[in-house]
Amino acid sequence: QMMSMREDFLPAQYLSWTKKLQHEAPVVLSSGDARRCIHKELGLAGDDGDLSEVFSEWAEEPIGSASIGQVYRATLRSTGEPVAVKVQSPGIERLFRADIRTLKFFTAFALPWAVENMNAIEKMFETEFDYDLERRNLDAIRKNVLPRWGAQVRVPRPIPDLCTKRVLCMELLEGEKLVDGVRRRMRVLAEREGRSPDAYEEEHLEALRSGRRAARGARAARWRTAVWRW
């Protein structure tokens, strides 16, 4: 999943299927297990797995699945608002820490130079398992970004009463992956200037691979600004 985000690292033939792991990882948590986990985390009444106290509708199939959890579409009973409910797979943090210890052990023998990379991955995931921290981060981003960029950027609003360390309930926003949106915009700009978007992208990837810094001239600055401000 992490390597799929490094187009300068993995060969092209591996990227198409590894990118699926970003939001279409194998589903390891059934809808029933997810509902039971949410029921327990939120301390709801009724039968185990019964979410009717807070949700009037619940989609059985996840709309997204990653390495540590899944996201389901639901509707709030109190307001009728569609929401996205992210639930963490039980025991996944313990499994991750066991896996990273194993990887670090073998990396120390086979690829000593990569041990620091394993340490960086471990550190990066330290906060990934705390969905309540993610909720607070969403609130902070909304507070700092929306007053100035609210007309151009949308940040999902968390539902605090339905969030815990392992459950995150937030406003459901329809959209596309950021990288797809940026590439779509780049193609529009490339056609406008008579340039090839593939060549432009390859130029920057080559700069990353070779260690050269991307051009910082006026032309590059205009492109960068135009790509992000659509």
* pLDDT at res. 166: 96
End-to-end Cα spacing for the chain: 28
Max mean pLDDT range (26-40, 119-133, 151-165) = 151-165
Q: What is the pLDDT of residues 132-176, one digit of tens each?
A: 999 999 999 999 999 999 998 899 999 999 999 999 999 999 988
Across 60-81, average pLDDT: 92
pLDDT at position 13 over 70: no
* pLDDT at res. 125: 81
With H, G, I as helix, E, B as strand and everything else as coil, classify residue 209: helix
* pLDDT at res. 206: 76
* pLDDT at res. 168: 98
pLDDT at position 54 over 60: yes
Least confident stretch, 12-16, 100-104, 218-222: 218-222
| Contact status, residue 88 vs residue 103, Cβ threshold 8 Å | no
The residues facing 58 across adjacent strands are 74
Instruction: Single out the residue of 60, 63, 33, 36 nearest to residue 47, CA to CA.
Output: 36
| Contact status, residue 131 vs residue 168, Cβ threshold 8 Å | yes
CB-neighbour burial class of residue 162 (10 A; exposed 0-12, middle 13-18, buried 19+): buried
pLDDT category at 27 given cuts 50, 70, 90 is: low
* pLDDT at res. 14: 61
pLDDT category at 84 given cuts 50, 70, 90 is: very high
Q: What is the pLDDT of residues 178-201, one digit of tens each?
A: 778 888 887 887 888 788 888 877
DSSP code of residue 158: B
pLDDT at position 44 over 70: yes
What is the reported pTM? 0.73
pLDDT at position 10 over 70: no
* pLDDT at res. 20: 56
Q: What is the pLDDT of residues 94-108, one digit of tens each?
A: 888 898 889 888 888
